């Protein structure tokens, strides 16, 4: 008997799903319904839908026959009066107001109106009863009749609704609270972005724009001064008799002499430093070293402007406009 009781308990636990329950009060009815035969439930729902549709068709037919039976005992005048009253009370029938009570009784017009109204009513009933109620009824049952027994599809709807409107932190894109939280977070990010954009625009307008305008003004002044200087130098060179064909050969000789002077200055400094005497205390030797260092520095300045590597990149006019005295003055000013 103990063995049978254990088997019964195991079957009960397996059927209810309590062993896989995570939180809250377990709903035994819900698990029992979820494990119900889905094919059987679907067949019963389909059968119910077919019977309900047939019932509606028969009911509409009975209502129509009853209306015809009543109309057989009505006079044409009373029918026209009732129709006129309906036209006055119902604005949707204004298009049919051509059939007025003052006109002679027209059976074809009444039959056309009856068929039109019947078709309109059929469409409304089909949309409302056949679609809306059929869709909304399982949803209403899944919300209000969870504890009284629902079908498996209604249980699934109930589960989806609980997931959709759950207040728990559910990592799911279909949870309404998660969507609202994400929407609010996006609003905050948009506000932060708007503030950052406004601050950036303020910095640009108040700081960068004046700096850019100042830079543009300085560049224009520099270009204007350079143009004036070039014009002045060209005017000075116009009075000199210089053969342009010999300028590059002269400058090549000059560059070679610069290299010779630079090497000679370095050689003299090395020679004096290696002498077995106190050259630092000897004023003449010290003066020679200082002079050699000055000459080497000046030659290096000249070579940075003009050398064998960039000589061909200058034209004759540009070579004639080079003022080495300005380089010496700039070097002295920088020091």
Which of 177, 137, 122 is CA-nearest to residue 49? Answer: 137
Same domain? For 15 and 162 the reply is yes
- pLDDT tens-place string over residues 204-229: 999 999 999 999 999 999 888 878 87
Q: Which long-range contacts (CB under 8 A, 24 or more apart) does 49-53 make?
A: 49/134, 53/130
pLDDT interval class at 23 (50, 70, 90): very low
Same domain? For 184 and 162 the reply is no
Domain-terminating residue out of 241, 257, 283: 241
Same domain? For 198 and 318 the reply is no
| 36, pLDDT greater than 50 | no
| 139, pLDDT greater than 90 | no
> Is 0.85 surpassed by the pTM of this model?
no
Same domain? For 178 and 295 the reply is no
* Per-residue model confidence (pLDDT) at position 27: 55
Could you give the 3-state DSSP secondary structure of residue 242?
coil
Rounded distance between C-alpha atoms, residue 259 and residue 266, angstroms: 11
Same domain? For 134 and 121 the reply is yes
Could you give the 3-state DSSP secondary structure of residue 75?
coil
Domain that holds residue 78: 2-170
Rounded distance between C-alpha atoms, residue 261 and residue 302, angstroms: 12
Same domain? For 17 and 123 the reply is yes
Which of 131, 126, 137 is CA-nearest to residue 60? Answer: 126
Same domain? For 232 and 157 the reply is no
Domain-terminating residue out of 170, 197, 220: 170
Query: How many structural domains compose the chain?
Result: 3
Same domain? For 251 and 232 the reply is no
Q: Counting beta carbons within 10 angstroms of the beta carbon of residue 32, is it exposed (0 to 12), middle (13 to 18) or buried (19 or more)?
A: middle
Out of 36-45, 165-174, 294-303, which region has the weakest mean confidence (pLDDT)?
A: 36-45
> Would you give the DSSP letter of residue 277?
S
* Per-residue model confidence (pLDDT) at position 35: 47
Distances (CA, A) of 145 to 130, 142, 158: 22, 6, 10
Same domain? For 43 and 141 the reply is yes
Domain-terminating residue out of 170, 200, 229: 170
Same domain? For 229 and 256 the reply is no
Same domain? For 147 and 287 the reply is no
């Amino acid at each position: 008997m103990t063995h049978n009781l254990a088997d019964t308990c195991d079957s009960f636990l397996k059927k209810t799903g309590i062993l896989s329950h995570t939180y809250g009060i377990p709903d035994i009815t819900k698990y029992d319904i979820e494990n119900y035969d889905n094919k059987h439930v679907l067949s019963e729902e389909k059968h119910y839908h077919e019977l309900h549709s047939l019932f509606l068709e028969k009911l509409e037919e009975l209502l129509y026959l009853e209306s015809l039976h009543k109309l057989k005992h009505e006079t044409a005048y009373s029918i026209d009066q009732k129709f006129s009253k309906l036209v006055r009370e119902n604005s949707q029938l204004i298009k049919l107001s051509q059939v007025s009570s003052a006109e002679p009784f027209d059976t074809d017009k009444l039959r056309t109106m009856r068929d039109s109204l019947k078709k309109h009513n059929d469409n409304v009933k089909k949309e409302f009863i056949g679609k809306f109620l059929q869709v909304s009824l399982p949803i209403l049952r899944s919300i209000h009749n969870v504890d009284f027994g629902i079908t498996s599809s209604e249980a699934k709807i109930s589960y989806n609704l609980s997931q959709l409107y759950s207040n728990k932190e559910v990592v799911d894109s279909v949870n309404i609270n998660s969507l609202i939280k994400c929407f609010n977070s996006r609003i905050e990010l948009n506000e932060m972005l708007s503030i950052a954009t406004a601050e950036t625009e303020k910095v640009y307008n108040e700081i960068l724009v004046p700096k850019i305008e100042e830079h543009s003004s300085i560049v224009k002044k520099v270009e204007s001064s350079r143009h004036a200087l070039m014009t002045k130098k060209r005017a000075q060179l116009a009075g000199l008799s210089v053969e342009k064909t010999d300028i590059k050969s002269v400058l090549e000789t000059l560059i070679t002499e610069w290299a010779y002077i630079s090497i000679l200055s370095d050689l003299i400094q090395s020679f004096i430093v290696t002498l077995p005497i106190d050259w630092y205390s000897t004023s003449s030797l010290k003066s020679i070293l200082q002079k050699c260092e000055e000459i080497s520095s000046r030659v290096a300045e000249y070579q940075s402007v003009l050398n064998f590597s960039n000589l061909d990149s200058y034209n004759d006019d540009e070579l004639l406009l080079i003022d080495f005295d300005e380089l010496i003055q700039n070097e002295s000013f920088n020091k």
